[in-house]
Amino acid sequence: MLTSGPSHVSDSSDANPELSKDHRNRFKAYKIDLINIPPDLKDLSFSADADHAKSFDPSKFKYRMAYRLIKKQHQKIYGHDMNTQYGQWWNDEDVGPGLVELLQPDIEKKLFTFVVMERGEWRFCETGEEYKINKLSKHSMHADGDDVVTWGGEFFIRKTPVMNNEMQNHLQENAETLLQSATRKVHGPHSWTIFLDNDSGTYSPDQEKINTFRDFMALNLQGLNVVVMNFEQHTLQDAKKEQKDENLRVKKGLQ
């Protein structure tokens, strides 16, 4: 059984008072308990990298202050309250379509920041300039200050053309081709693809482990095409910028 969001729907007025009232009302954070967790999942885990390790040194005053702020921010974003909603997907094949229904990518066009914790909990919320977390690491906030996560990055979901069997069987190898087709409006028969990456300066997941992480997520998100890309790929960077621009136009009521 996979428990799902909106497992937490958060009014972020406390998290960031500069948000407009509309943004506060629409801001949501999610926790999803993943299943199909392999026994060696910890082998896929990543610690805070050398540049950030100093901030995880409890003997340093800066660390103690930053850690306290991170924990406080995490509680504001993910703390359970009267707005918290819960749900479950009872069948594995319902999870992918259920995630699409939950996040409404055809309407919202959001880009999400996420972490997957070592016990398999997937945490994420919308990313963007208006959601800066007090200049702290967003991934550290999602991880509640833990110095180790299974994965950290960003993701978005896009409508993509229906693929032939060969491309479907080699989905990861055809990631760029699929993403290029998803940057244009798709007409006619289509499917949905989630594009995840390793764009976390704090935890810096190794691109050599991308296929392993992709297989793990694909087991959990059946019914949804799952692709994981290295954040440095130009095609992905262009698509993420386009995703942010489209979302901004939606918020301004231009679409």
Which tokens belong to 125?
Answer: 């919320």
Bridge-based pairing state of the strands 2-4 and 87-89:
antiparallel
Alpha-carbon torsion (244, 74, 23, 20), positive or negative: negative
> What are 115-124's pLDDT values in tens digits?
999 999 999 9
Phi first, then psi, for residue 31 (nearest 5°) are: -130, 125
Which range, of 3-17, 90-104, 208-222, averages the lowest pLDDT? Answer: 3-17
**Residue 16 pLDDT > 50, yes or no?**
no
pTM (2 d.p.)? 0.85
User: How many angstroms separate the Cα of 198 from the Cα of each of 58, 107, 185, 229?
Assistant: 26, 25, 26, 7
Confidence (pLDDT) at 168:
81
Over the stretch 196-234, which tens digit does the pLDDT of each residue have?
Answer: 999 998 899 999 999 999 999 999 999 999 999 999 999
Q: Rounded mean pLDDT of 178-203? A: 87
